[in-house]
Structure 1
């Protein structure tokens, strides 16, 4: 029986910004695989390459070298190998940004529903699912509020609901709990863990938030653009205490 390929696979990926003497190597020789059902944390000091790595997996940034595979398909190998990157991002990737990036002219529920209607879901069904997701994230009572009237934490939870709306197999999050208190941070991480387990999704989270370290299956530490350590989160949680 053939093993299921990783949902995310990077092979010797590098990324350089600029040229010549001004060139900055943001990533060097990064090899990483994340299976379906796995929740992986990415940690490291500022400038270590965490967000660059996330943006390469999301097909927002091109690598300078190496190979990127998603769901076993080669997506980048010297150039992008898929015909429609927008469709790939829409169908396969849910991205939770550090800033919520909600559309200011749509209510919370319609921000979440829009992601589904763009993928072909009928509006009543999309709005019903959007309300259910907002309820799960403890922000359902603010479903009809406009983004300008949401607190920072509420807006971030709406953006998380939007990222989960189309049940993507790959979920990428850049500091998703930074604006949340301890209780709501755990709610968010428990939901991401549930999504990973029930849908066999691969979840990668950039974080400095020690209070959620125990929610990860693995913690990957980066420094100077290289993977310094890749280990189960338990050891790092104990070390942080």
Structure 2
């Protein structure tokens, strides 16, 4: 399988000297197309830090990183326009859907496509395709406040997929959902990984979804401790 996320000796620290805090320490990791991978560990273990580094939100302190075949960090960012990098390669899903309340469901997806210069008709068609793909097409003209928690999270997934990214980063996407809705969300992420040859990385404490992962990586004190298939 093609490796979509490759990191070598990736590290992140804050501060210097006596105040230095090592959030991530020399981590090596490969995640492949079609995989749904869990990042586990106690609070402060480095899970969210790793997600933020892979998402090009936070700059690493050291190491090397390749995303979807492109080296994007090698001791420094090799891309100047990180916003464009995120729009092209990465989709983000969070614990809370963060949908824009005064836009319709469809418009919440269309706005992402507008950012990359897609025309209105193309953006609307893509939004409808995604909503139908995730079985919430009948809610396209509703406001987020009219959706259930599970429906809103599906819309958030649709938004993350708007620009066809091959790397999906999800931070506690099922924490606010009951077991049934959490299972539905994970099944949808599995569908995306397989059908769109994407790599899905999920930070979670949610034990009810542990059986949904191809592999689980345990982090502790900024180090990768173990992986289970």
Aligned partners of 1:107 and 1:146 also within 8 Å: yes
Aligned partners of 1:104 and 1:148 also within 8 Å: yes
Distance of 1:116 and 1:184 partners within structure 2: 27
* TM-superposed deviation, 1:167: 1.6
Match of 1:48 in 2: 45
Aligned partners of 1:44 and 1:222 also within 8 Å: yes
Q: Matched residue of 1:168: which SS? A: coil
Match of 1:187 in 2: 184
Distance of 2:131 and 2:176 partners within structure 1: 17
After superposition, the C-alpha distances for 1:146-168 in whole angstroms (9 at most, x for unaligned) are: 34554544433322210012221
Match of 1:98 in 2: 95
* TM-superposed deviation, 1:68: 1.1
RMSD: 1.9
Distance of 2:173 and 2:132 partners within structure 1: 18
2:67 paired residue among 67, 70, 85: 70
Aligned partners of 1:137 and 1:188 also within 8 Å: no
Q: 1:160 to 1:5 in 2, by over 3 A?
A: closer
Q: 1:191 to 1:148 in 2, by over 3 A?
A: closer
After superposition, the C-alpha distances for 1:45-93 in whole angstroms (9 at most, x for unaligned) are: 1111100000000000111111111123211112100132111100110
Aligned partners of 1:153 and 1:179 also within 8 Å: no
Aligned ranges 1:16-35 → 2 under 5 Å? 16-35=13-32
| Mean Cα deviation higher: 206-215 or 129-138 | 129-138
Aligned partners of 1:10 and 1:69 also within 8 Å: yes
TM-score (norm 2): 0.91
* TM-superposed deviation, 1:138: 4.7
Aligned partners of 2:128 and 2:140 also within 8 Å: yes
Q: 1:217 to 1:6 in 2, by over 3 A?
A: same
Which sections of structure 2, spanning at least 5 residues, go unmatched?
none
Which sections of structure 1, spanning at least 5 residues, go unmatched?
233-241
